[in-house]
Amino acid sequence: MQYTKTIVCFANSRKTAGRCIAGKEWQNDEPGEWVRPVSVRETHEVSEEERRYEDGHDPQLLDIIRVPCDGPQPLGHQCENHVIDPEYYWAKQGVLPWENLERWLDNPDKLWETGESSYAGFNNRISIGEQDGTSLYLVAVDRLRLLVGRKAPEYPDSKRAVRGQFVYRGTTYRMDVTDPIIERIYLNQADGQYDIRHPVLCISLGDPYQGYYYKLIAAVLHRERFT
């Protein structure tokens, strides 16, 4: 272990065979820079064993966590990455109250470049080469509409998914949800549309895929989830 990073957890989303954890650095109750703890695997996901606390619990959103790190590993599209030291436990230091969340928000003009959309998305990707190094935003929106069902209805054997549609600063976005708690809740519902009012979203830029970086809703935070 070379150093530790203490972060407020704003994402614990599914990725490959593990999770993508991300948060902002906790600096004496003040928000610092984004930090994404990553493994040395090619796809960087963190396993259950690597991320758990000594008592066996998994990190939760808004947990304040001390993460042992071996060194920074910035990538062209993800400048926030730090390689974890898997020989040490992560340690929970407390919980950020929901009421204190507002001052941790980001306020970008837009969520990266717009105008690129996949078959089932809208403004949900950027071409490789358009990245600016930043891959995480925490933003508040008036409403998140969750779309539950098959992304390609013409293929009845395809898997059901949860996508999220919202408006941020006048621009509409529709992207995949990778928050496993939200996925579990809404995949257990009938196909349809479900609204969450006044959520805070952690938006993440994923790894390169077929010439693009895809935007993902890595976490859906709302008052009812924490109160």
Distance CA 43, CA 4 (A): 22
Q: Which residues are bridge partners to 67 per DSSP?
A: 5
Among 139, 65, 134, which residue's Cα sits nearest to residue 101? Answer: 139
Q: Quick check: helix, strand or coil at residue 192?
A: strand
- pLDDT for residue 157: 79
- pLDDT for residue 16: 83
Helix (DSSP H) and strand (DSSP E) numbers for the chain: 3, 14
- pLDDT for residue 96: 97
- pLDDT for residue 4: 98
Q: What is the pLDDT along the chain (227 residues), one digit of tens a residue?
A: 899 999 999 999 999 889 999 999 999 899 999 999 999 999 999 999 999 999 999 999 999 999 999 999 999 899 999 999 999 999 999 999 999 999 999 999 999 999 999 999 999 999 999 999 999 999 999 999 999 999 888 777 789 999 999 999 999 999 999 999 999 999 999 999 999 999 999 999 999 999 999 999 999 999 999 97
Q: Residue ranges per domain, the chain?
A: 3-101, 103-226
Other beta carbons within 10 Å of 111? 22
Q: Convert 57-79 to b/e letters by CB count within 10 Å (16 or more is b).
A: eebebbbbbebbbeeebebebbb
Task: Kindly report whether the global pTM for this prediction surpasses the value 0.85.
Answer: yes
- pLDDT for residue 94: 97
Q: Which helix (H) or strand (E) holds 34?
A: strand 30-38
- pLDDT for residue 27: 93
- pLDDT for residue 198: 97
CATH number of 3-101: 2.40.50
